[in-house]
Amino acid sequence: MMASFMSYFGGRRDTKQSSRDAIVTLRQQLQLIDKKEEYLQRKIDEEMRKARANAVTNKPAATAALRRKKATEQELERLQGTRFQLEMQVNTLESASFNAETMAAMKKASGALKDIHGRLTIDKVDTTMAEIQEQTQLANEVSEAISAATYSGVDIDEEDLKAELADIEQDELNERLMGADHVPLHLPAGPSKVEEGRQPVALEDDEEAQLKELQAALAM
């Protein structure tokens, strides 16, 4: 009652609720139209039955039944036109209500985006990214400067380094050769006289081959 009173005097109305109320009212009217259409259709069928029953024996009664049938059919056609208009209004209201709710949701999302971005602008983003790039470049330059200064002030003679490396290589070669001299040799049991005569030569060749392999390894 209060809602109707406020609506009558131009008070604030809930658009969403009023749209729902209108849709409910229209659908209720469509239900009444359904019932009336059923009644008119039964009446048309009844008049048609009377016209057929009296078509031979009582032509005036048959003609009157046909007139009533035609009048009822016209009324049914007008009612069907009304149904079409109401259905169009329901569809329009439902579509408008859906669009309004969609727009409200989009407006709410837009407000949320504004709150997230705040005073953020593309110029501020560009400035921030430029500052980040500048600081990153500075950090890289500082790292390179620190690495370059690690050996600053140290007088290193490259020739001395080469000579020291050569001495280390020679020492390593000597140690490996000494280790090769102490490798035990396992000879097969019961060698023939021919093999005994050739044994010293085979051992010398084996030692020479090991020496060459060590030298080749150290030269790599």
In a domain, 181, yes or no: no
Under the banding of pLDDT at 50, 70 and 90, the label for residue 128 is confident
Average pLDDT, the chain: 80
Tally of domains in the chain: 1
In a domain, 145, yes or no: no
pTM for the full model? 0.46
Under the banding of pLDDT at 50, 70 and 90, the label for residue 143 is confident
Question: Does the pLDDT at position 97 exceed 80?
Answer: yes
What's the mean pLDDT in 26-45? Answer: 94
For the residues of 162-200, what is the DSSP string, one character each?
HHHHHHHHHHHHHHHHHHHHT----PPSS--HHHHHHHH
| Rounded Cα–Cα distance for residues 185 and 210 (Å) | 13
Residue 96: closest CA among 15, 178, 195:
15
In a domain, 48, yes or no: yes
In a domain, 49, yes or no: yes
What's the mean pLDDT in 63-68? Answer: 92
In a domain, 150, yes or no: no
CATH of residue 105's domain is 1.10.287.1060
Question: Does the pLDDT at position 193 exceed 50?
Answer: no
Residue with tokens 């024996």: 57
More confident residue, 144 or 26: 26
Of 12-16, 106-110, 170-174, give the lowest mean pLDDT range: 12-16
| Rounded Cα–Cα distance for residues 215 and 209 (Å) | 10
Question: Does the pLDDT at position 90 exceed 90?
Answer: yes
Confidence at residue 175, expressed as pLDDT on a 0 to 100 scale: 87
More confident residue, 204 or 104: 104
Residue with tokens 């009324």: 75
More confident residue, 180 or 167: 167
In a domain, 24, yes or no: yes
Query: What phi-psi label fits residue 190: left (phi over 0), alpha (psi between -120 and 50 degrees) or beta?
Result: left
Question: Does the pLDDT at position 20 exceed 80?
Answer: yes
In a domain, 124, yes or no: no
Domain with 62 in it: 15-111
51 Cβ partners below 8 Å, 6+ apart?
62, 63, 65, 66, 69
| Rounded Cα–Cα distance for residues 46 and 31 (Å) | 23
DSSP single-letter state for residue 149: T
Confidence at residue 63, expressed as pLDDT on a 0 to 100 scale: 92
Question: Does the pLDDT at position 7 exceed 70?
Answer: no
In a domain, 76, yes or no: yes
Query: What phi-psi label fits residue 185: left (phi over 0), alpha (psi between -120 and 50 degrees) or beta?
Result: beta
| Rounded Cα–Cα distance for residues 203 and 191 (Å) | 15
